[in-house]
Structure 1
Amino acid sequence: MLNDRVLVGKFGAAHGVRGEVRLKSYTGDPKAIGSYKPLHDAAGTRQFTIESLRHLKDDLFVARIQGVRDRSIAESLTNLDLYVDRKALPAAGEDEFYLADLVGLAAVSETGKTAGAIVAVHNFGGGDILEIAPAAGGATLLVAFTKENVPRVDVAGGRLTLRPPAEVEAEAPADDDFDRSASDEHAARASET
């Protein structure tokens, strides 16, 4: 299942007084975001064209956006996600996929049992995280998108193999008079596992 639009960046704070804005790029080559035209907001109702980019660091730029010429307009763009039409992106290579391709895939165990479906892919700065709606219903699950947790992705087959990490469960103390030495012993045992 392919999505019509792919998240490629996000506007940050206004930069200066002439309408420039900070821009975080999510593209493989961060500077490539400047070549995608037009960019859209999440609803697809607003379009943006990058006129120029100045590199700040890593995947962060200062951008001049067509039609944005003062700070107040630039400030109104803060935290706006930027999308590009899927057809504007190059085709994924063999054994490659866009993270957007994961949304809608079935999450199955190594034995083939369906665990749920991928409803979103998030990244809060510590790596990609899959949000999975369980097949049995209930609250969604969050699983780090790592090779260990997801050993196989089959976009064409509409599924990925999910090997969730083992949960770590702490033992609750027997009563409220739990003494410090028992707490220290419990912590030592937990750190050994």
Structure 2
Amino acid sequence: MTDPTRRILLGRIHGAFGVRGELRVESFTDPETELFRYQPWTLRDAQGRERAMEGARGRPTPKGVVATLPGVEDRDGADALRGTEIWVARSALPPPSPDEFYWVDLEGLRVRNVEGIDFGTVAFVFSTGANDVLVVRDDARERMVPFVRPDYVREIDIDAGTILVDWDPDF
């Protein structure tokens, strides 16, 4: 989290919405329209080319979030951005509330269980609907640990870069 160059993937452009250059956007923020609070954006296309962009505006619709971007004025311009990822600097996000965490801040943390067995590091986190899950990898295997506090996830120390879990190493 202290790396000033660290960026977070917050959305993806899925193509045109109508004929006036509006875009269908998948937002990974909650609520979805919070995406527009965090600017400037870095737009990354499928070939890895990037460009900075400010001034995006958006609105919710029954079919998802619709955005307008400066310089995108017609359907062809909007369709040209299909598949483009929306990245923002981690520093653009507000600090989490006490005892809350951004998933991205958990990535890379070292995980060990209460018996002291090292599980590896958090590769990523995903949601099952019922709860979130830590995907922890080392050189030999991958483990999925339910992010259920305090039952399975006992302690998180962002500053020390560690997570303590109560989880069977063979599971």
- TM-score of the alignment, normalized to the shorter chain, above 0.5: yes
Deviations along 1:11-54, whole A, 9 cap, x unmatched? 22321122211122222343222122211135582223353212
Deviations along 1:106-129, whole A, 9 cap, x unmatched? 011122321111122345878644
Over the matched positions of the two proteins, sequence identity in percent amounts to 30
**Map of 1:37-186 to 2, 5 A cutoff?**
37-41=39-43, 45-57=50-62, 60-122=64-126, 128-134=132-138, 137-147=139-149, 148-164=151-167
Question: Unmatched 5+ residue regions in structure 2?
Answer: none
Q: Any conservation in 2 of the 1:2–1:101 contact (CA below 8 Å)?
A: no
Structure ranking higher in helix proportion: 1
> Which deviates more from structure 2 when the two are superposed, residues 152-161 or residues 115-124?
115-124
Quote how far apart the aligned CAs of 1:131 are.
2.8
Deviations along 1:80-100, whole A, 9 cap, x unmatched? 331211222222232122111
Distance 2:72 2:131 in 1: 32
Structure ranking higher in strand proportion: 2
Question: Unmatched 5+ residue regions in structure 1?
Answer: 169-193
Give the match's secondary structure for 2:50.
coil
| Cα distance change of structure 1 residues 110 and 166 upon mapping to structure 2, 3 Å threshold | closer
RMSD: 3.1
| Cα distance change of structure 1 residues 123 and 97 upon mapping to structure 2, 3 Å threshold | same
